[in-house]
Amino acid sequence: MRTLLIAIGLASVLGGSAFAAEPAKMVDTKMGKVLADAKGMTLYTFDKVAKDKSNCDKDCLKKWPAFHAAANTKAEGKWSLVKAADGKGMWAYEGKPLYTYAEDKKAGDTNGDGVGGVWHLAK
């Protein structure tokens, strides 16, 4: 019986590790629930992109840093990977590349929403 319980416990732990955690989380802001990075910084989408392609150039990335992905990351479900102008991989949600905003100073800030009429909260 003890061996069976240990085997079940190991199967649960090992089986769960096959699924990657989502790269972003939902957080509450004054604008409602939005996607945020691990530090709670709000994520944004940019209207001037093609699906699965970032059009935010290197100058743009200074104000709108790409939501970079670790080198060994794999896309799954609604999450995909695209290449940022800096050559690094970045996350996209439902085909839309994700960015933070340099003028958001603390977790939950939403200062980038509506900038230029082309930047929007990722939900």
Domain annotation covers residue 17: no
At which residue do the structure tokens 């699906």 appear? Answer: 51
Domain annotation covers residue 11: no
Residue-wise pLDDT for 78-112, tens only, equals: 999 999 999 999 999 999 999 999 999 999 999 99
Domain annotation covers residue 12: no
CB-side exposure of 54: number of CA atoms within 13 Å?
30
Domain annotation covers residue 87: yes
Domain annotation covers residue 10: no
- Do 55 and 82 form a contact (C-beta atoms < 8 A)? no
Residue-wise pLDDT for 61-76, tens only, equals: 999 999 999 988 999 9
Distance separating alpha carbons of residues 82 and 68, to the nearest angstrom: 9
Domain count, the chain: 1
Domain annotation covers residue 28: yes
Say which DSSP state 115 is in. G
Grade residue 20 by pLDDT with cuts at 50, 70 and 90. Answer: low
